[in-house]
């Protein structure tokens, strides 16, 4: 086996994963003068937003900064549709890909697509380099700071960071879902806005012999006339670190989507329904939760706790989907009050220069069920990017040495409700 090639350029910051959290971290840092490399396993920026076809951003109330900027840019392109009865919006996936690339290029970010982080070099609590695999073979990239925005905590796991995954008692994990975009629905169809609409859509599916594996099947209307994102499937026991499980789930979910569309065409007015595209990768709701300098808990959400280093207010419910086929429906485990996500939850325990952003940050199963949505991933990334600039201002400093209160103050200045 040949040794990895070493990349000659050394960066201030390497962000692993270019989903909503990762691209936000890279943009936030690079705009503050931090020399940044953004590494992504897919062929575009955006992660679940784009190659995952999520098409829906939730928990956007009281959020400024990059999230507001992105909404404004999407509006300019007529590529955003505000949700009528909840905080959030849908968007045009292709425009999202294009805008994110334009923004990153303008910020001077170096980007690598089709490149996966497979190992890390670390010593005495400091990450020194990441090892990547791509068509050109193995390469190492060194930096002063690193952010794990892979969603599943891949980099942190390679560094040996402790983590949790699954329910604290049963060990069961939230199901995965493969999303799709569909067209040709009846003109009067407006999509699903709440529980009654979802039950109506479920009844339609059952009337043509399809009992969806997700009990709350949904249609999200997109900005482009006649297009909807469809979410009807649950795939259980799909672990983020098991390629065989992910493969099996993807194939099974794609079969369910195709079968459902063909069945719905038998309904009057639905004859022209077509499956336009299914996602390139299945949506994983739950992966590794990396242990950080603070561990966000269910009690924090119940009490609506505020912290001096809170980087944003999260308002999303504790949204636990069915954990197995025998559970009749998902659950909101308890009523959460608006709560802070503290900066310390974005810094990996035991490492000075390893930041976290997105659903892999430090928290328990129940807190994760709330903060995991992408309206929270953006401020997490933006905050750790601000911290990267602060760390670079201190020669030899890492994320652990940054005063989270100063990060919170900058987030507030950028328009985030604190």
* Structure tokens belonging to residue 74: 């999407």
Residues 6 or more apart from 255 whose CB is under 8 A from it? none
Q: In the predicted model, is pLDDT for residue 332 greater than 80?
A: no
pLDDT digits (tens, 9 = 90+) for 133-190: 999 999 999 999 999 999 999 999 999 999 999 999 999 999 999 999 999 999 999 9
Phi, psi of 186 (to 5 degrees): -60, 145
Q: In the predicted model, is pLDDT for residue 331 greater than 90?
A: no
Low-confidence winner among 84-93, 227-236, 276-285 (lowest mean pLDDT) = 84-93
Nearest to 230 by CA among 217, 249, 211, 215: 217
Bridge partner list, 314: 339
* C-alpha 346 chain-centroid distance: 14
Alpha helices in 232-373 (DSSP H): 243-264, 298-303, 365-371
How much is the pLDDT for 5?
Answer: 76
Work out the pLDDT band at 6, boundaries 50, 70, 90: confident
Residues 6 or more apart from 306 whose CB is under 8 A from it? 339, 340
Q: Summarize the confidence of residues 378-387 as an average pLDDT.
A: 99
Q: In the predicted model, is pLDDT for residue 268 greater than 80?
A: yes
CA distances from 416 to 61, 92, 123, 292 (A): 9, 25, 36, 23
Q: Give the pTM.
A: 0.96
Q: In the predicted model, is pLDDT for residue 328 greater than 80?
A: no
DSSP assigned state of 296: B
- Tell me the percentage of the chain whose pLDDT exceeds 90: 92
Work out the pLDDT band at 2, boundaries 50, 70, 90: low
Q: Give the CA radius of gyration of the chain.
A: 21
Give just the sign of the alpha carbon dihedral 59, 62, 67, 69.
positive
How much is the pLDDT for 396?
Answer: 77
How much is the pLDDT for 8?
Answer: 56
* Structure tokens belonging to residue 221: 């209307």
How much is the pLDDT for 285?
Answer: 98
Q: Give the mean pLDDT of the chain.
A: 96
Residues 6 or more apart from 266 whose CB is under 8 A from it? 208
According to DSSP, the β-strands at 80-82 and 88-91 are antiparallel
Residue 374 buriedness (CB in 10 A; 0-12 / 13-18 / 19+): buried
Residues 6 or more apart from 207 whose CB is under 8 A from it? 267
How much is the pLDDT for 272?
Answer: 98
* Structure tokens belonging to residue 47: 């992660």
Q: Summarize the confidence of residues 71-83 as an average pLDDT.
A: 97
Nearest to 370 by CA among 387, 345, 351: 345
- CA 414, CA 418: separation in Å to the nearest integer? 11
The Cα diameter of the chain in Å comes to 68
- CA 394, CA 390: separation in Å to the nearest integer? 7
pLDDT digits (tens, 9 = 90+) for 181-220: 999 999 999 999 889 999 999 999 999 999 999 999 999 9
Work out the pLDDT band at 326, boundaries 50, 70, 90: confident
DSSP assigned state of 287: -
Work out the pLDDT band at 1, boundaries 50, 70, 90: low
* Structure tokens belonging to residue 152: 């599943």
CB count, 10 Å around CB of 378? 30
């Amino acid at each position: 086996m040949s040794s990895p090639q070493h990349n000659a350029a050394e960066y201030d910051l390497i962000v692993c994963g270019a989903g909503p959290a990762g691209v936000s971290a890279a943009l936030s840092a690079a705009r503050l003068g931090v020399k940044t490399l953004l590494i992504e396993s897919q062929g575009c920026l955006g992660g679940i937003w784009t190659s995952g076809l999520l098409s829906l951003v939730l928990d956007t109330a009281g959020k400024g900064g990059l999230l507001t900027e992105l909404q404004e840019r999407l509006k300019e392109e007529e590529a955003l549709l505000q949700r009528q009865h909840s905080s959030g919006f849908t968007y045009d996936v292709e425009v999202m890909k294009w805008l994110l690339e334009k923004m990153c290029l303008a910020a001077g970010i170096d980007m690598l697509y089709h490149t996966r982080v497979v190992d890390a070099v670390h010593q005495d609590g400091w990450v020194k380099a990441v090892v990547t695999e791509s068509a050109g073979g193995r390469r190492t990239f060194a930096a002063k700071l690193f952010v794990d925005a892979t969603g599943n905590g891949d980099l942190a796991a390679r560094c040996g960071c402790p983590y949790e995954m699954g329910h604290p008692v049963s060990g069961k994990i939230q199901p995965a879902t493969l999303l799709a975009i569909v067209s040709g629905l009846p003109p009067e169809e407006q999509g699903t806005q709440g529980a009654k609409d979802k039950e109506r859509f479920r009844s339609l599916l059952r009337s043509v012999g399809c009992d969806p594996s997700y009990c709350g099947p949904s249609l999200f209307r997109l900005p482009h006339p006649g297009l909807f994102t469809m979410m009807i499937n649950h795939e259980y026991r799909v672990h983020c670190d098991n390629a065989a499980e992910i493969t099996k789930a993807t194939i099974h979910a794609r079969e369910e989507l195709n079968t459902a569309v063909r069945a719905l065409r038998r309904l009057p007015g639905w004859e022209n329904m077509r499956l336009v595209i299914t996602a390139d990768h299945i949506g994983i709701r739950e992966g590794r939760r990396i242990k950080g300098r603070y561990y966000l808990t269910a009690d924090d959400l119940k009490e609506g706790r505020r912290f001096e280093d809170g980087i944003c207010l999260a308002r999303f419910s504790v949204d636990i989907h069915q954990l197995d086929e025998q559970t009749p429906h998902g659950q909101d485990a308890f009523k959460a009050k608006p709560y802070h996500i503290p900066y310390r939850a974005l810094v990996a325990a035991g490492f000075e220069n390893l930041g976290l952003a997105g659903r892999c940050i430090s928290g328990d199963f129940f807190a994760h069920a709330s903060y995991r949505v992408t309206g929270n991933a953006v401020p997490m990334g933006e905050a750790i990017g601000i911290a990267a600039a602060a760390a670079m201002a201190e020669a030899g400093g890492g994320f652990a040495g940054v005063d989270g209160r100063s990060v919170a103050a900058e987030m507030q200045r950028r328009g985030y409700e604190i």
